[in-house]
Every structure is written in structure tokens, then in C-alpha cells.
Chain A
């Protein structure tokens, strides 16, 4: 399944770049993330509580960041497994300037399996987009908090 979408951040491209690839910010922005451990260069294993609406579950997974072109583009490879099913995906993320802010565009190829895949067809794309939006909103919040903290110092 292909999922694509866009998001606008108020913060500049250099700030967003830093936080989108920063393990601490990632851990803070992933919903219900309880474990986040670097297991190889640029590769982390994590446990997160993920869900949309009435469907919620604890997932363990792995995230890998690749093909970095500073401040403009990277590839995120993720896989996860939980009780309602599992999935994996590869997303290419592009950043461009948008006034004072940043415009992010993602294109992902996602496969899912298990109960989610069997019955979720009607809502998979919308759920994936909703989770992406939740993640981007959260990471911008992380970035804003960090920026304010360093400004106050």
C-alpha cells in the first residue's frame, strides 16, 4: 500500500532536520514509546503503544534511518509486530523551505499483515496518515520545547 502526505512545520529546515533524526526527539514523539535503544549505527529497537480510535496495541519494532542528504532528504525504514498484526514500510522524506517554516513530503510503501491487514483495508490509509500527523505534530512540539530550553539558557 502506498501512503503519501504532506506536513508543514513552523520551524526552519535546519531545526526540523536535527530533530527528525535525533533519537531523543524521536523517542519523545513516538506515541507511548517505552523503550528506545540503539542496536546498530542509525538503527533503533523500540516498544510503542500505537493506535487509532478503538484499535490500540503495543508494538515492538525497529527503525532505521538511511540515505541522508543533510537538511533535504532521508529514508526511514520501519518494521513492527504486535498482537493485532504487524507491518513494515519504507518512507522517503523530503524537506523544503516554506517561508519561515518547513514543508515535509513523505512517500511510503507499507505492507501490513495479521488482523490489521485482514479487516483494516477500509481504514488503513487514513489510519497511517493520522499516525503520521500525530508523529509530526509531536516532533514539532519536541523541537519547540528544545529550542525554547536552549534559548532560555
Chain B
């Protein structure tokens, strides 16, 4: 439970963090809350030679809203998301999902930027940002760029983020009706399956739907067939049942918490629950 020796440096700005990373020899990693990286280091499954602490960089924390566009700084902790008044009013789905992460200690330290960059296949926030069609804002040596959340996650711990880049913020249009439903692992509270649904409803008819799943496969991804089935429907019980039955994921995870078949089945169940909760908002 004692990590290998490593060096530690604190970055005071984004530019300094990137410069430290570029100048580093060996395996340098950014660290924010550290609640994914440090456990791996203690088990010596990860042995970085240098940790670049970005948690003190000013201006990367907090939630703001401007004209219906919500922006969350990368260093905002899950505990802050859970109780943020802007989110509770404009995007309660984010607060709801953040409150389901790990335990209080993890939520006090873990950050949204770290969770998205680490991209654990069973983490909650990736499904939420994909369902909200969020933009992920990234800074690197080559300047700044923005990636759609739906394109950001590509595989097991694989994201569209270069070694010398870091996430600075996440932004999205406040959803009209969105919810997150999760089957959590009893010990780790990771998502065995977690589904986020964001719906646009006009005159009792669903005119747009984005539904994304985490935990079921290698990475958070949209459930296209579910979205198609929902669009144009009246969101009654039959429509929700039909849409959630269309949930289908490739490369389903299997472990002690659930076989492939179980996860497929629970993906359908929790898709239905997320849609019903979103429809009721």
C-alpha cells in the first residue's frame, strides 16, 4: 500500500502545468483529486515518476450559467456539483449523478475533469455529459480546442486527450428534462449500469432524445436505437417500455458484479427508469 518513489510539482497555471508535462522525463501524470490515480499507485499498478498537481490552478473551479448555457470548471468536485444551486435549478441531472459517485470522501476530492479524463468504464459522469451533448474544453501546448462529449470517449480508458493536454471545463445547454438512473455496485458504488436520459418534449410529444449508458461496456456511449424509438412518441408507459427494450450495447462487460446477460438486461431496465424519471421532470 506504499507507492513507488515519485517527484511532485505544483502548477500555478495551465501554461505551467503543460510546460512541466512537456519538460518531464519518464512517466509524468497530472493529478487533481487523485482518487483514481492514487489507489492505483498504492497498488503499484501505476508508477508515475512525476505528479503535476493541477488542483491549485485558479479559475478552474465552480459552476456558472449564462443565457441557458451551463459551464463547469474542471476542478469542481463531485461534492460541489451535488449541492450547487445553479445545477440544482438548471441541470439537476448533474447534481443527482455526482451525488451517486463513490462515498463522501471520494466526492470531496474527486473532480469532474479528472473523472472524464480518466474515463473509467463504470464512472457516472461520462454518461451524463454524453446525454447532455456537452462540449469538453481542452487546453494543450497547441492551444485550446473543444470536443463534443459524444466523440470524446472512444474505448476502455481511451479518450480524445493528448499526453500534454488537460480538460479546463465542460459546458452544455441546460436540459429541459433529464435524469440519471443507476444500478450501483454495493461496495464500490461504481455503476454496474448507469443511464442518463435527456428529453425535449413539446405538447406531450418527445421531439428529441439523447440517452447514454455507462458501466455496460468499455466506455460511455449513446443508445441510438432507444433515442430513435423515443422521438415522436408520447412517452407513456408503453412507449418507454418499447424504447428501453431497444437498448443494445456491444462488448458488454462481465465481472463478479454481473454477467454479460445481466448487464444487457439491467441496461434495458435502467434505460426505462431514466427515461421515466426524465419524462416526469
Contacts and interface: CB of A to CB of B under 8 A. Distances in A.
Interface in B17-49: 27, 29, 36-37, 40, 43-47
A56 interface: yes
B138 to A, nearest CB: 18
Contacts of A116: 45
Contact of B257 (A55, A83, A84, A122): A122
Contact of A122 (B29, B40, B45, B255): B255
B45 A84 contact: yes
A21 interface: no
B255 A124 contact: yes
Contacts of B47: 83
A118 B256 CA distance: 13
18 contacts: A52-B157, A53-B118, A54-B29, A54-B40, A84-B44, A84-B45, A115-B45, A116-B45, A119-B43, A120-B45, A122-B256, A123-B253, A124-B255, A126-B121, A126-B156, A129-B251, A130-B158, A130-B218
Main secondary structure of the interface of A (DSSP, over half): helix
A133 to B, nearest CB: 8
A119 B45 contact: yes
Contacts of B37: 54
Contacts of A83: 44, 47
Contacts of B251: 126, 129
Nearest to B37: A54
A56 B46 contact: yes
A146 to B, nearest CB: 26
B45 A55 contact: yes
Interface of B: 27, 29, 36-37, 40, 43-47, 118-119, 121-122, 155-158, 188, 190, 217-218, 251, 253-257
Interface string A45-57: 0000000111110
Interface of A: 52-56, 83-84, 115-116, 118-127, 129-130
B42 to A, nearest CB: 10
Contact of A55 (B46, B158, B255): B46
A125 B253 contact: yes
Given A53-B156, A84-B44, A130-B156, 13 more contacts: A52-B157, A53-B118, A53-B119, A54-B46, A55-B45, A55-B46, A116-B45, A119-B43, A122-B190, A123-B253, A126-B156, A126-B217, A130-B218
Contacts of B27: 56
Contacts of B45: 54-55, 84, 115-116, 119-120
A120 B256 CA distance: 11
Nearest to B192: A122
Q: What 10 A-B pairs come out closest when comparing CB atoms?
A: A53-B157, A130-B156, A55-B45, A122-B255, A54-B46, A84-B45, A126-B156, A115-B43, A126-B253, A125-B254
A128 to B, nearest CB: 10
Nearest to B256: A121
Given A55-B45, A83-B47, A123 B121 contact: yes
Contacts of B217: 126
Given A52-B156, A54-B40, A121 B46 contact: no
Nearest to A122: B255
B176 to A, nearest CB: 34
Contacts of B36: 54
